[in-house]
Amino acid sequence: MDIPTFDDVVAAHERITPYIHRTPILTSSYLNQLTGAEIFFKCENLQKVGAFKARGASNAVFGLSDADAANGVATHSSGNHAGALSFAAALRGIDATVVMPHNAPATKKAAVRGYGGNIIECEPTQAAREATLEKEVAQSGANVVHPYDDARVIAGQATCVLELHQDIGDLDAVVAPIGGGGLISGTCLALSTLSPQTKIYAAEPAQADDAHRSFQAGEIVTRDAQQSVADGLKTNLRPRTWHFVSRFVNDVLLASEDEILDAMYLTWERMKIIIEPSSAVPLAVMLNNKQLFQGQRVGVVITGGNVDLKHCPGCK
């Protein structure tokens, strides 16, 4: 199993800098007051393709040799990685094929097509995603760029917290969402070298709590066909991401569906930025665990802002 190193993070940052935004870090005195912490929001909702996934996808695509890139790239994804891989492939001038569950958000399907990606739909289960992708790759010979179980992707995602540390310095804690674990693995990878005393908390929907169950059990526990408004967090950990979670994460904290939506709308209203439900889970768990963060300097990764405003989550 290929485990990325901090040197891979440094190389990834140099590789992808021409293709991504160095996103801003925003603060909110109101949210500081509400949580009792000083929060620094790394706003990847303002990233290319509207999500941090542009980092890992770009690192994977632009790290390919010409020979490996010749047959294009392929993946399975419920949304943001799909758009990010299509975006990066278009920049390099190669094909991208994405296996997506048929119930993936329409806006995210539109983004993939807008970047020139080819979509193959499947049933909304992990097994269906993987089987459909395997069949496609057998026919096309495309290079698989897994949305999170990929050393190149993890190194790319780590550049997000690398920049946070460069801009803000040492923090008491960092909170990031967890689904399959690519971002949290990158967070662990960066901070274990840059600021090993910083505590790392993973934030997860209670209705898609496989990472929480895994953390409690001390081994990977999977749940299939998980349901949550945080559509980007419904995937399960893999051995490569579990490697980081089991060694460096201090705790996996949970939020209910209502708490996630409340935190999302609170961010919209108070910070005047659009974030998607998956991005709101860290603030939701901080509001649930104020005593844990009281008086601390906390980094929060806002992972994306791709919301279908015509079918707003939780709107009536």
What residue segments make up the domains of the chain, in order of their start? 6-52+150-311, 54-144
Q: What is the pLDDT of residue 313?
A: 73
Residue 157, CA distances (Å) to 13, 65, 219, 253, 291 in order: 9, 21, 23, 21, 29
User: Tokens at residue 194, please?
Assistant: 């840059």
Count of other CB atoms within 10 angstroms of residue 197: 8
Do residues 300 and 45 touch, judged by C-beta distance below 8 A?
Answer: no
Q: What is the pLDDT of residue 314?
A: 67
The residue to which tokens 């840059």 are assigned: 194
Q: What are phi and psi of 170, to 5 degrees?
A: -65, 140
Three-class SS state of 39: strand
Do residues 32 and 48 touch, judged by C-beta distance below 8 A?
Answer: no
Q: How would you write the pLDDT of the chain (316 residues) with one tens digit per residue?
A: 899 999 999 999 999 999 999 999 999 999 999 999 999 999 999 999 999 999 999 999 999 999 999 999 999 987 789 999 999 999 999 999 999 988 887 878 888 999 999 999 999 887 898 999 999 999 999 999 999 999 999 999 999 999 999 999 999 999 999 999 999 999 999 999 999 999 999 999 999 999 999 999 999 998 876 788 888 888 889 999 999 999 999 999 999 999 999 999 999 999 999 999 999 999 999 999 999 999 999 999 999 998 888 877 766 4
Taking the C-alpha atoms of residue 2 and residue 146, their distance in angstroms, rounded to an integer, is 13
Taking the C-alpha atoms of residue 181 and residue 192, their distance in angstroms, rounded to an integer, is 16
Are 6-52+150-311 and 54-144 the same fold in CATH?
yes
Do residues 54 and 20 touch, judged by C-beta distance below 8 A?
Answer: yes
Handedness of CA 290, 291, 297, 302 (dihedral sign): negative
Does CATH number 3.40.50.10860 belong to domain 54-144? no
DSSP tag of 106 = H
Q: What is the pLDDT of residue 238?
A: 94
How is domain 6-52+150-311 classified at the CATH fold level? Rossmann fold (3.40.50)
User: Tokens at residue 150, please?
Assistant: 């990929």
- Predicted TM-score (pTM) of the model is 0.94
Q: Buried b / exposed e across 124-158, counting CB within 10 Å, b at 16+?
A: bebebbeebbeebbeeeebbebbbbbbbbbbbbbb
Contacts of 279 (CB under 8 A, 6+ apart): 44, 45, 177, 264, 267, 302, 303, 304, 305
Q: What is the pLDDT of residue 315?
A: 64
Taking the C-alpha atoms of residue 100 and residue 128, their distance in angstroms, rounded to an integer, is 10
Q: What is the pLDDT of residue 307?
A: 86
Count of other CB atoms within 10 angstroms of residue 315: 9
